[in-house]
Every structure is written in structure tokens, then in C-alpha cells.
Amino acid sequence: MAEIIECVPNISEGAKTDVVEKVADRVRAVDGVKLLNIAPDAAQNRTVFTMVGDRASLKEAIDALFDETLKHVDLTKHKGEHPRMGAVDVVPFVPIVGATVDDCVELSKEVGAMIAEKYNVPVFLYEDSATASHRKNLAKIRKGEFEGFAEKIKEDDWKPDYGPDEVHPTAGCVAVGARPFLIAFNVNLGTNNLPIAEKIANEVRHIGGGLRFVKAKGFETDDPNVMQVSMNLTNFEKTPIFRVVEMIRREAARYGVSIVGCEVIGMVPLQAIIDVADWYLQLIDFSRDQVLETMIFE
Amino acid sequence: MAEIIECVPNISEGAKTDVVEKVADRVRAVDGVKLLNIAPDAAQNRTVFTMVGDRASLKEAIDALFDETLKHVDLTKHKGEHPRMGAVDVVPFVPIVGATVDDCVELSKEVGAMIAEKYNVPVFLYEDSATASHRKNLAKIRKGEFEGFAEKIKEDDWKPDYGPDEVHPTAGCVAVGARPFLIAFNVNLGTNNLPIAEKIANEVRHIGGGLRFVKAKGFETDDPNVMQVSMNLTNFEKTPIFRVVEMIRREAARYGVSIVGCEVIGMVPLQAIIDVADWYLQLIDFSRDQVLETMIFE
């Protein structure tokens, strides 16, 4: 089974489509990397690239992405709604198949060291790659943005993990790190009572005393008779979808409320779907290799 | 999304590994076909090849498989436990992704016509490709086997669909057809009472008045406190796994018996697993394209 890692670099250019295409072409030219999606946003002046590959090919792709992006993006002239500290702003690695978060941590360090050496850009390891707890959160690292980093990087707490103690004059600095796959998942409740959804969201989420890898918030929907618990599941292996749904189902029942539907927003790894089927069907010794398509493709 | 069809030809040679390998090599040499498994059985003197590909490549692979098999297999000298009427005995086509049973029926007719023309072997269309109801069932077609077919083929009911009204002197004849994917699925019940499993098996299966695409039988297991409803689900789109399991769960509850586990034997298409997750999670507008791996591979 081949190793598949997802990489979702964000660059600080979302308006000039020719620049975005040049960067995309450089990534496409790397053997073993598949560019799945390009999401430019002109107002944010930022583009998110979604690609998959193995360690070696992704390292090469990020090298190419830096090389091309740094030719075109000058942060001293950059304006956009999205906060940013680098021309290439953030490079997250996410394990999909045949690789662990630890593998991605290792990869992020290799890539970080390479970027610092080849491009003289300071690198901050973040999320599971972070070297201190205050450096896990991307928003905290990025605070002050490109303009503020000339000073911030001098502070003891904000020495980069790789590269010079000085911000690159046009490319700023970059956050590189590993994190588990994030699943955006909503549970719709058959009630017109928003506080019920808000209360359940609070109870099921980590900060409210609930499940460790759940971020949740209660929302109204377009239908006045449906309220929503909207979630990010930040580690579906340790806090699986079915456990979250069944906890919400039970909590809702306490108010006489039922789940009327659930939504997966965006992508979900095959394993997360298999885990759901496995649990509800009480499967004995089921292996992902039994899914025909994995035999064909992996 | 690429078209993926499974083809599972059986040839009447399972002892001579050099012959099996020669046939396998011919299949492997066809561009666009992936040979997933080779299952030779010396006692049955028969080998099952499992391959996947699109229509054009599978047609080429079956051509190559016939060409090589007919060089080596002489049914006048064939002995084996498994009933057989042809050197290549049966060629089933099964839709997996981006193809329907109807597409496979069409393909089976194309392949059947080709075999008849190139190899002068009489072809019987079976299963969903059958041209009459008495010719759907493979066992019925094969009755009399190679030795009896010289006479049987003269009967009005048993004229071949393609090719001569005479059995090929060494290669016999062949059944070619399309069928949906078959899932072998067992439900284990927490009871030492075999008649409960047998009664439920009878109630859930088509011939007992139950679900249309279920074949079922009650069995003992190695554990005296666990009895099994062992099934073939012959069309998981129309009779999905979850509906079968939930019907059995309800029937078992009538005796105070619970499901203690379920087993998928062998392979299962991704869509059947997605359908399970979709149903239990009450998903709204979930598409197979949201499974990350399909984006990478299809």
C-alpha cells in the first residue's frame, strides 16, 4: 500500500491568476504529486493548494512551490483580508494512508530545514510539530503578521525553529507542521430552540468537558425548525464520528429532540467512513483491504 | 471517474502451475487490466482469475486468456472435482465503478460474439445476460458437463447464443454473463439455539418471503453460544447491508437474542460501505466523491 500524505500550503496571492497558475504548474510537474484542488480568493489575496503524495515527492513539490512563489510575491506590497506572515504562509502535512502524524512531524522538520537553508526564510514548527506548547496554535504564531514580525522574532519565545533570526525582506516567515485530518461535520436537530443546540454543542466539545477532539458550536439553519451542532472533528481516529453522533443523539433525546440529518462538509478519509460502518454493523476483523477499490488503487 | 468492471473467469486447469502462470502473464500483458488474484485449486483442477479494467481492456484480456488456455487445456483428458463444460468454463462481468449491470450485459454479448468467431466455441449467455429464463442459472446450463454437451446442445432449449451448434472438440463451450457484485455477509447471534438462526435465515431470504436479493442459511459456529445467519447479498444497491442487518436484529429480538457481531467475507465495494455509513448517520447529500481516496484514485 502506497504512502499518501496530504499537503495544503497557503500562499499570499489570490488575485493574480497567472501567478497562481505558474505555482500550480510547478507543483504539477513534480512526479508522484497529485494537485487535487486550487482555491484562490482575491479578497483574501490568498490561495490554498491541496495536494497529495508521498514524503519525497511532497518535499520536492514544496521546494518548487517556494521557488516560484518567492519570485512573485512581495509582502511589503501585499494587501488582503486574511492575516499572513509569509509569501508562503503555512504548510500543513496531514496523514491519509500508510503514514502517521509522527511521520508527518518528521517530514515537516525535514521540509522546514530545507526551506530555511535554500530560501533563507525563518520557519516555525506548529501544531503536532511544535517545539513548545505556546507555538502549537497557528493564530498565535502569526499574531503581528508580516509587519510585526521584524520585532516579534527577536523575542526569546519567538525564535524560529530553523533559519535566520531575521524576517525575509519580501517573503516573511512560514509555519510548517503536521496535524491529523480535520473533518467538518454537522448534526441537525429537529427543534426550533437554538439554546438546545448550543447547550449540546457545549457539552460535546472538549472545552465544555466533552470529547477531546471535538470543536462545536450551535447555529440556526435556513429552516426555523432545524438547529445545528456544527463541529470540527480534529482527530477522527481517537474521537470517531459515530461516538460524537451517538452522544449528541442521547443528549438531544433528553429534550425529546431527534437528529434529523447529518452533513459531512468537504472531504473525509475512507478510514473514517469504514470506522462508521464497522461500528454500527459490529464487524468482526474487518480490514480496509476488503474494500475492493483499495485493492485496485493502493 | 474511470470505469471499473470486475471479471472473474474460471479455467479448467488448477494443477499445472506453469499453465496457470502462462495464462496469467497473458492477462498481465494487457494494458489497462489489473490482475488482482489467481486462485488455482488442484483437486478441483480449476483456477479462478480476478481482474479489473474497463470494457475495452477486459475484452482484450479475455481474448488473450482464451488464446492461451485453449493451447493447453484438453477437456477430453480433464479430471477434477468441480463441474465444468469448457476449457474456459465461465466468464462473469461485474460492475464496480462508473458502469452498470446493463453495461456489463452489453460487454458480455460483445465478448461472447468475439469468442464464438475467433475460437469457434459455443457461447451461452447467463445470469443478467441470459436470453431466456431457463438459461439464467449457471448450474442448469452446465448440467451434463463437457461429456453430455454433445447431445444437450442439439436440444431446442440449449442452442448456444453465439457460435456453432457443436461443442468445440477440446474446449467445450463457455458461459458468459453479467451479474451484480455479490457480498458474502454473516450475522452472528448470541444464542446456542440453531433453530432460531435457521428460522431467521428463512424469514429474511427471498425464497422464504423475505428480502429479494438475500440468500441465507442458518449455521452453527465454533462457539456453541453463537449461531450464524450466513448470507449472500446478490444486489447490495437494491437490498443494502444495513436493511438486512436491522431486519435480523428485530427478528432476533423477538426471541430475546442479540447480534454479537457481523462478518464481511472477502471483498466489498466501497459504495456498499458508504451506503451503511450514510444510513446510520442519516447523511444529507453525501457523495462518494467526498471520500478523499476517490479523488486521488478515480
**What's B114-146 look like in SS3?**
HHHHHHCCCEEEEECCCCCHHHCCHHHHHCCHH
Which chain B residues contact residue A188 at CB under 8 A? 284
The set of cell numbers assigned to A68 is: 516560484
pLDDT band with cut points at 50, 70 and 90 for residue A98:
confident
Record: contact A36-B277, CB cut-off 8 A: no
- Residue B250 is predicted with a pLDDT of 98
**A48 Cβ under 8 Å from any chain B Cβ:** no
Phi/psi of residue A55, nearest 5 degrees? -55, -50
Angle (CA) A217-A218-A223 rounded to 5° is: 140
ipTM above 0.85, yes or no: no
Which residue from B188, B245, B269 is facing A292, i.e. has the nearest CB?
A: B269
- pLDDT of residue A295 exceeding 80: no
What's the mean per-residue pLDDT of chain A?
95
Domain ranges of chain A: 4-178, 183-297
Angle (CA) B213-B214-B219 rounded to 5° is: 170
- Residue B297 is predicted with a pLDDT of 65
pLDDT band with cut points at 50, 70 and 90 for residue A34:
very high
Which residue from A36, A188, A280 is facing B280, i.e. has the nearest CB?
A: A280
Is residue A288 exposed (0-12), middle (13-18) or buried (19+ Cβ within 10 Å)? Answer: middle
What's the mean per-residue pLDDT of chain B?
95
pLDDT band with cut points at 50, 70 and 90 for residue B293:
confident
* Long-range pairs for B110-114: beta carbons < 8 A, 24 or more residues apart: B110/B55, B110/B59, B111/B58, B111/B59, B111/B62, B111/B176, B112/B161, B112/B162, B112/B176, B113/B162, B114/B59, B114/B62, B114/B63
Mean pLDDT of the A243-271 span: 96
Q: Is the dihedral of CA B157, B161, B167, B172 positive or negative?
A: negative
- Residue A164 is predicted with a pLDDT of 96
Record: contact A292-B242, CB cut-off 8 A: no
Please say whether the beta carbons of A238 and A212 come within 8 A: yes
Three-class SS state of B103: helix
Within 10 Å of residue B104's Cβ, how many Cβ atoms?
27
Three-class SS state of B289: helix
- pLDDT of residue A138 exceeding 60: yes
Three-class SS state of B35: strand
Architecture of domain B183-297: 2-Layer Sandwich (3.30)
pTM of full prediction above 0.90: no
Nearest chain B CA: its distance from A162 CA (Å): 32
Instruction: Check for a shared fold between A4-178 and A183-297.
Output: no
Nearest chain B CA: its distance from A12 CA (Å): 26
Comparing A221-225, A265-269, B82-86, B268-272, which segment has the lowest mean pLDDT?
A265-269
Instruction: Tell me which chain A residue has its CA closest to the CA of residue B290.
Output: A267
The per-residue pLDDT for range B226-270, each reduced to its tens digit, is 999 999 999 999 999 999 999 999 999 999 999 999 999 888 999
**A283 Cβ under 8 Å from any chain B Cβ:** yes
> Hey, which residues of B are catalytic here?
82
Which residue from A188, A263, A290 is facing B266, i.e. has the nearest CB?
A: A290
- Superfamily of domain covering B4-178: Formiminotransferase, N-terminal subdomain (3.30.990.10)
The per-residue pLDDT for range B120-175, each reduced to its tens digit, is 999 999 999 999 999 999 999 999 999 999 999 999 999 999 999 999 999 999 99
**A1 Cβ under 8 Å from any chain B Cβ:** no
**A2 Cβ under 8 Å from any chain B Cβ:** no
Nearest chain A CA: its distance from B269 CA (Å): 5
**A38 Cβ under 8 Å from any chain B Cβ:** no
The per-residue pLDDT for range B11-38, each reduced to its tens digit, is 999 999 999 999 999 999 999 999 988 9
The number of CA neighbours under 13 Å toward the Cβ of A210 is: 25
**A260 Cβ under 8 Å from any chain B Cβ:** yes
- Residue A297 is predicted with a pLDDT of 65
Nearest chain B CA: its distance from A280 CA (Å): 7
The set of cell numbers assigned to B2 is: 474511470
Which residue from B4, B285, B292 is facing A270, i.e. has the nearest CB?
A: B292
In a mutagenesis test of the B interface, which of A57, A228, A296 is the best target, namely the one with the most B β-carbons within 10 Å? A296
**A132 Cβ under 8 Å from any chain B Cβ:** no
